[in-house]
Homo-oligomer: A and B are copies of this chain.
Amino acid sequence: MSQQADIQPGVPEPPPLLLRGVVEAALREDLGWGDVTSESLIPADLAAEAVMVARGDGVVAGLPVAREAFHAVDPRLDVELLARDGETVGAGRPLLRVAGRARAILSAERVALNFVQRLSGIATLTARYVAAVAGTGARIVDTRKTTPGLRALEKYAVRCGGGHNHRFHLGDALLLKDNHRMALAAAGVSLIEAVRRARAALPHTVTIEIELDSLDQLEETLAAEPDTILLDNMPPETMAEAVRRIGGRARTEASGGITLETVRRAAEAGVDLISVGALTHSAPAFDVALDFNV
């Protein structure tokens, strides 16, 4: 983990209403008509204390979600966060302490862990990408390739890992890709005219980004005056050439199959942003466990 990742602990938590909705849905899914194991075996009044512990090295994310899960099962559980989301932690590090009715802790355990393992997995992978481009000035950004239903939380996890967010949904930025370019051609509308019309119609708060598949499209794209140019699937040298020719007239974003191995070269090509779908669609879970003291 880089030190860079360690400066994210101040990432503001998602709004409580958002947390509550996601957590209650997860608990309804996992609890069904009751936790037959705990209800059958654990005395109703048995008290317990448990500590959530990291089982590997990484960047933690999702502890407030876990707290919400424990409180949704039993508001009287005493929950204390022992680390802050965005913090780099090592194996064995205690992350959260919960105390109260043993049955309630056991019933909420899996949902709490499922959120933390997934969100910390994303934060940890993001932090590795961020570390890989350290010093280049390039931002690591996410995509819309998120898990259905968890977008806001997964994008929060990206921020916890030191990454940045790209647009949240189809309504908050215009991103003109090759398919749109083909459709414009089919409809006989020039790129420049299409973007002019879009700007005339869209809110002034909506920025415009245009994808570039080859340098041949560069002049026309620049003439459309986008806020950002997306350099898709380009070799680093082509990318560098594109960045040079754009010359600051638009922000530049690299995308397309970028891996931990290739990300630094993309960053050194001079782009401002590097979007990585894998942050959210392929991050392995971060290993966490809940250790009990009955």
Q: CB within 8 Å of B: which residues of A?
A: 10, 12, 14-18, 21-44, 46, 48, 72-74, 102-103, 106-107, 110-111, 113-115, 117-118, 121, 139, 141, 144-152, 155-156, 159, 164-177, 179-180, 182-187, 194, 197-198, 201-207, 209, 227-228, 251, 253, 272-273, 277-278, 281-282, 284-285, 292, 294
Contact B33 A292 (CB under 8 A): no
Whole-angstrom distance from the CB of A205 to the nearest CB of chain B?
Answer: 4
Which one, B24, B168, B183, contacts A41 given CB within 8 A? Answer: B183
- 8 closest A-B pairs by beta carbon, nearest first, are A32-B171, A26-B148, A281-B285, A40-B198, A282-B284, A12-B39, A35-B170, A173-B205
The residues of B that contact A42 with a CB separation of less than 8 Å are 180, 183, 187
Give the number of times this chain occurs in the complex, counting copies: 6
Which one, B48, B185, B277, contacts A183 given CB within 8 A? Answer: B48
Listed residue (A10, A32, A152) with the most chain B CB atoms within 10 angstroms of its CB: A32
The residues of B that contact A197 with a CB separation of less than 8 Å are 40
- State whether A204 and B169 are in contact (beta carbons under 8 Å apart), knowing that A147-B114, A150-B149, A282-B121 are contacts in the complex: no
Q: Which residue of B lies closest to A69 (CB)?
A: B148
- State whether A148 and B22 are in contact (beta carbons under 8 Å apart), knowing that A167-B205, A183-B48 are contacts in the complex: yes
Whole-angstrom distance from the CB of A72 to the nearest CB of chain B?
Answer: 7
Report the bound CA distance from A39 to B35 in whole Å.
27
Listed residue (A12, A17, A37, A44) with the most chain B CB atoms within 10 angstroms of its CB: A37
The residues of B that contact A46 with a CB separation of less than 8 Å are 183, 186-187
- State whether A29 and B167 are in contact (beta carbons under 8 Å apart), knowing that A40-B202, A73-B17 are contacts in the complex: no
The residues of B that contact A48 with a CB separation of less than 8 Å are 183
The residues of B that contact A285 with a CB separation of less than 8 Å are 145, 277-278, 281-282
The residues of B that contact A30 with a CB separation of less than 8 Å are 144, 151, 169-170
The residues of B that contact A176 with a CB separation of less than 8 Å are 37, 41
Report the bound CA distance from A209 to B205 in whole Å.
9
The residues of B that contact A149 with a CB separation of less than 8 Å are 22, 25-26, 29, 148-150
- State whether A164 and B203 are in contact (beta carbons under 8 Å apart), knowing that A183-B46, A282-B285 are contacts in the complex: yes
